[in-house]
Amino acid sequence: MEPTIEYLKSKFDSALVAAFGQDLVGIDPMIVPTTNPKFGDYQCNLAMSLAKKLNDQPRVIATQIIDNLNITDYFYPPKIAGPGFINLSLRPEYIESCLQTIIKDEQLNISLTKNPQRVVIDFSSPNIAKEMHVGHLRSTIIGDSLARVLEFQGHHVLRLNHVGDWGTQFGILISYLREAFPEALKTANVLEIGDLVAFYKQSKKRFDEDKDFQKKSRQEVVNLQTGVEDSRYAWQLLCNQSRREFQVIYDLLDIKLNERGESFYNSMLPGIVEELKKLGLLEENDGAQCVFLPGFTNKEGESLPLIVQKSDGGYNYATTDLAALVHRIEKEEATRLIYVTDAGQANHFSQVWQVAKKAGWIPENVEIVNVFFGLVLGEDGKKLKTRSGETVRLRELLDEAINKSRNDLKKRLKEEKRLESEEFIENVAQVVGLSAVKYADLSQNRNSNYVFSFDKMLALQGNTAPYLLYAYVRVQGIARKGKINFEKLRKDAKIILQDEPELVLGKHLLQLNEVLNIVAVELLPNRLCEYLYQLSEKFNKFFENCPVLKSEEPLYTSRLLLCDVTARTLKLGLSLLGISVLERM
């Protein structure tokens, strides 16, 4: 089913040509959903913007557009408001027919993209020998949600985890462990990940203070790069141990990723530098090979170069990112590259893309998108940290969310005098706890910082995951109470929108297709969250004002079908956010 806005755009395109000629072919008709129901369902703001071009009054232009507009099958006759707004109201019979089509389709009649792309999404990206922290949460769940939406629309998505598994830090850590705990470089899993992190901190301190240790560490890096056997084996053990720890969190959050760490691109780095040299883009600066770009300066106003080869001959993040970019375009044949990283990396990636463009490595048909996100703040408004000032470990944060959810559930069950099995309690606690954390993050505009609050995210009211889950559960409760078989009911679907809350709910159910198209373009998951929150609100208002099980036919079946399609829409929308539903709470 074509989204309503797309239908309107095509009709307005035809009306514009009919009214004013071919000069207006391709002009955006500027159609948006109305924010106030008294102005109808959609509004066209085009007449005002055409006034100067057509040298006429906006209301006159609006009248000419309407005279050539053929939308009477779907809409009431358009109305002109104010200086020239064209207000459009859907006919109930059109909404009913659309809903009947949606109900009978397993995928809710969501249209697939007409132009499937090969998309690479770079997200999560933790560092080996370090624990995932709260900062990785945003990249991981934002990237996953975007991947789910694009995959659902029919794009070919490669989910890449650009793990920090190479570089100087491994030379430092391996050199330190050779002295402090050599068994860890020979035998798997003799250290906990927390111990490994502690050793890394000690090794870094030693490196900063001890010149002899610096030499050993740099030599260890050379050993890794040249493939010395015991160094490579030690490195592999450390990587495998970290991967297992990462996977525990990925499994908990239901995240699917393909790891392609920095080490994957190691053999490509000399070629990247050589190519930049041939193109005349490199300049030597203090022994390092750099690219100087206009517009990038330090605090003193001096030019800030992008270093692609250090003075000691080694490479850095920029070199690896350039190699990854080239590989994704040439080998993966991606036409859309999406990087999900914190806002602090904006300057770095901006430089990398400019160098790649100067080198001619980014074809015109390739789009590169920086999906940056803000900080997670504590309730004091400062960067979220533990009481001791440490960065919050992601595993601990997720465990605490589940624990708090469990305690809230047990308290509610006690108040309601409900007896439930331990299995039920544990399942609900985990789904609600993890969903609350995900939704609290995804419901914020990713460009902004947000305050992390367990109390707010676990609340049963407001724009929270529990509120949305409860709306879904409410429909399942109706089915159990009325012994309803929704699958059987759908076969003879007949929707009747009689009362205002039904009409409002029905209109909103038609908008999912449009919302997903917006998310796919703008890469803002909060747009989907807002849609689902409004859907839950509209459904609850419908449920409170329109009896379902006590209605007479044909309203009885119609209202049951409205409940069903609402639940299915919630389930689909939440799944695209990486959130599971519950049959009972």
Is the CB of residue 432 less than 8 Å from the CB of residue 458?
yes
Q: Are residues 426 and 555 in the same domain?
A: yes
Q: What is the pTM of this model?
A: 0.93
569 shares its domain with 425 = yes
Alpha carbon 123 to its chain's center: 10
Non-local (6+) Cβ contacts of 42 within 8 A are: 4, 5, 8, 31, 32, 33, 34, 87, 88, 90
| Per-residue pLDDT, 1 | 65
**Is residue 312, in this structure, part of any structural domain at all?**
no
Looking at the fold, whether 178 and 64 belong to one and the same domain comes out as no
Measuring CA to CA, which residue among 388, 389, 260, 274 is closest to residue 327?
260
Q: Please check whether residues 70 and 196 belong to one and the same domain.
A: no
Q: Answer whether residue 356 is part of any domain.
A: no
- From CA 548, how far away is CA 482, in angstroms rounded? 10
Confirm whether 274 is domain-assigned: no
Provide the pairing of β-strand 450-451 with 376-377.
Answer: parallel
| Residue 10: CATH number of its domain | 3.30.1360.70
83 and 182 in a single domain? The answer is no
Is 520 found in the same domain as 403? yes
Residues 180 and 85 reside in one and the same domain: no
41 and 172 inside one domain: no
318 inside domain:
no
Domain C-terminal end among 250, 266, 289: 250
Q: Tell me: do 78 and 200 sit in the same domain.
A: no
Query: Last residue of a domain, which of 229, 250, 271?
Result: 250
The reply to whether 400 and 536 lie within a common domain is yes
Q: Is residue 571 part of a domain?
A: yes
Nearest alpha carbon to residue 437 among 424, 453, 448: 453
User: What pLDDT does residue 37 have?
Assistant: 85
Q: Give the pLDDT score at 278.
A: 96
Does 471 fall in a domain? yes
Averaged pLDDT in 10-residue chunks for the chain of 585 residues: 84 90 83 88 91 91 94 92 93 94 92 94 93 91 98 98 90 92 87 83 92 91 87 91 92 96 93 96 92 84 87 88 98 98 93 96 96 91 78 91 96 95 97 97 94 92 96 96 91 89 96 95 98 98 95 94 97 98 96
How confident is the model at residue 556, as a pLDDT?
94
Query: Looking at residue 410, which CATH number applies to its domain?
Result: 1.10.730.10
**H helix runs in 483-577, sequence order:** 486-490, 500-509, 512-522, 526-545, 555-576
Separation of alpha carbons 172 and 161, rounded Å: 23
Instruction: Examine residue 345 and state whether it is found in any structural domain, yes or no.
Output: no
Residue 441 sits in the same domain as residue 572 = yes
42 occurs within a structural domain:
yes
Q: Output the pLDDT for position 299.
A: 77
Task: Count how many domains the chain has.
Answer: 3
Residue closest to 508 by CA, chosen among 488, 536, 485 = 536
State residue 28's pLDDT score: 86
Q: Which residues of 307-334 are buried (b: 16+ CB within 10 A; e: fewer)?
A: bbbbeeebbbebbbbbbbbbbbbeebeb
Give the domain-ending residue among 73, 89, 105: 89
406 and 503 belong to one structural domain: yes
Structural domain that includes position 76:
4-89
132 DSSP assignment: -
